[in-house]
């Protein structure tokens, strides 16, 4: 006897049922379409980047990757939907620092926990914000904008489609002492349309959204929010230098998250595929042209990065005197 004996029929059936109920493993994943929930509306920076990656993931895996835009509420609706989804790798969140770094600082209560409810998959990259103004506004640089705002307190409307853009503007207001009126939009793609039309005069926009409008001459770029020049915007100074705010630096970032509990091997496979896509020369050149700095962090590196970002945004809000809502 070798010690092995057939299992009773009932026990064998139970084992088969148990195996069928387990989450999909990496060797069979993906076996059906993947839903990529985007935390912002069509045309937003997150939406543009999400579709670039969705198309390439679908081509690599032979399964559709369906982009599902859930704009509004500073990305809260999308984040909550993914946090509550089944952790099997078939529902993913494509989002920005708005949901996972800025919202935890600006809202007292959220219907999701940005750490406990998610498994970080991959960091796509970091993108500067660009300060843009309506062509009707008679200013040509940050110094002129600040002077105009001081001369007309509260008269300028600044448009914002997410909490990152909002906080970036509030930091400048706090640092310079100027007064501008905040106007909220569902997305930066919608917000910049009102800047073009002149209904709002100022915006701190994701570069992916702003660059096409700047190049077509529909808005005027005054400064970038990062601490170094941006190749895609030659000659455009930094906010820190142009506004006299040493240490000012704000960047948006994009990342993919899965629900907490998603099998580690699926997360690892997703991470590897996203990094491989980011190395494609054509995609990398396009991202660089849009001002995005690609990333190749592993999942645990993304988790550490997000934790650092929450603290950085918390300190920025404290310095700007912003209290959680």
pLDDT band, very low/low/confident/very high, at 9 (cuts 50, 70, 90): very low
Identify the CA nearest to 208 among candidates 73, 48, 317, 86: 48
pLDDT value at residue 25: 52
Render the burial of 209-224: b for 16+ CB within 10 Å, e for the rest: bbbebbeeebbbbbbb
Closest to 284 in 3D by CA, of 56, 59, 68: 56
Q: What is the pTM assigned to this prediction?
A: 0.79
Q: In the prediction, which pLDDT does 287 show? A: 85
How many other C-beta atoms can be found within 10 angstroms of the C-beta atom of residue 225? 27
Domains and CATH numbers, the chain: 32-126+252-320 (3.40.190.150), 128-242 (3.40.190.10)
Mean pLDDT of 51-69: 96
Whether the bond between 30 and the residue before it is cis, its omega within 30 degrees of 0, is yes
What backbone torsions phi and psi does residue 28 show, to the nearest 5 degrees?
-110, -5
Q: How confident is the model at residue 186 (pLDDT cuts 50, 70, 90)?
A: confident
pLDDT, tens only, 117-133: 999 999 999 888 999 99
How many residues can be counted in the chain? Answer: 325
pLDDT of res. 21: 43
State how far the alpha carbon of 246 is from the alpha carbons of 150, 239, 304, in Å: 20, 9, 26
Over residues 299-308, the pLDDT tens digits come to: 999 999 999 9
- Which of 37-41, 48-52, 125-129, 228-232 is the least confident region? 228-232
pLDDT band at 15 (very low <50, low <70, confident <90, very high): very low
Q: How far is Cα 325 from Cα 322, in angstroms, rounded to an integer?
A: 9
Is the pLDDT assigned to residue 2 strictly greater than 80?
no
């Amino acid at each position: 006897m070798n010690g092995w004996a057939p299992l009773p029929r009932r026990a064998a059936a139970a084992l088969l049922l148990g195996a069928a109920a387990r989450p999909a493993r990496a060797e069979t994943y993906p076996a059906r379409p993947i839903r990529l929930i985007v935390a912002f509306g069509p045309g937003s920076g997150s939406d543009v980047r999400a579709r670039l990656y969705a198309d390439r993931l679908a081509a690599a895996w032979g399964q559709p990757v369906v982009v599902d835009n859930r704009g509004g509420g500073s990305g809260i609706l999308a984040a909550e939907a993914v946090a509550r989804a089944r952790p099997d790798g078939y529902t993913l969140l494509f989002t920005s620092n708005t949901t996972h770094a800025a919202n935890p600082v600006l809202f007292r209560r959220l219907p999701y926990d940005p750490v406990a409810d998610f498994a970080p998959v991959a960091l796509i990259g970091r993108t500067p914000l660009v300060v843009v103004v309506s062509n009707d506004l008679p200013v040509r640089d940050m110094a002129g904008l600040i002077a105009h705002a001081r001369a007309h307190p509260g008269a300028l409307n600044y448009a914002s489609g997410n909490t990152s853009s909002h906080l970036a503007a509030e930091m400048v207001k706090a640092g310079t002492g100027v007064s501008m009126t905040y106007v909220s939009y569902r997305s930066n793609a919608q917000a910049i349309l009102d800047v073009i039309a002149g209904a709002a005069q100022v915006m701190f926009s994701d570069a992916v959204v702003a660059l096409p409008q700047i190049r077509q001459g529909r808005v005027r770029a005054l400064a970038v929010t990062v601490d170094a020049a941006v190749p895609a915007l030659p000659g455009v100074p930094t906010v820190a230098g142009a506004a006299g705010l040493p240490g000012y630096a704000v960047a948006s970032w994009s990342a993919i998250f899965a629900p907490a509990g998603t099998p580690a091997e699926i997360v690892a496979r997703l991470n590897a595929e996203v990094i491989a896509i980011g190395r494609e020369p054509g995609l990398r050149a396009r991202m660089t042209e849009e001002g995005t700095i690609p990333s190749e962090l592993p999942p645990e590196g993304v988790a550490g990065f997000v934790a650092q970002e929450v603290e950085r945004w918390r300190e920025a809000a404290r310095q700007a005197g912003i209290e959680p809502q």
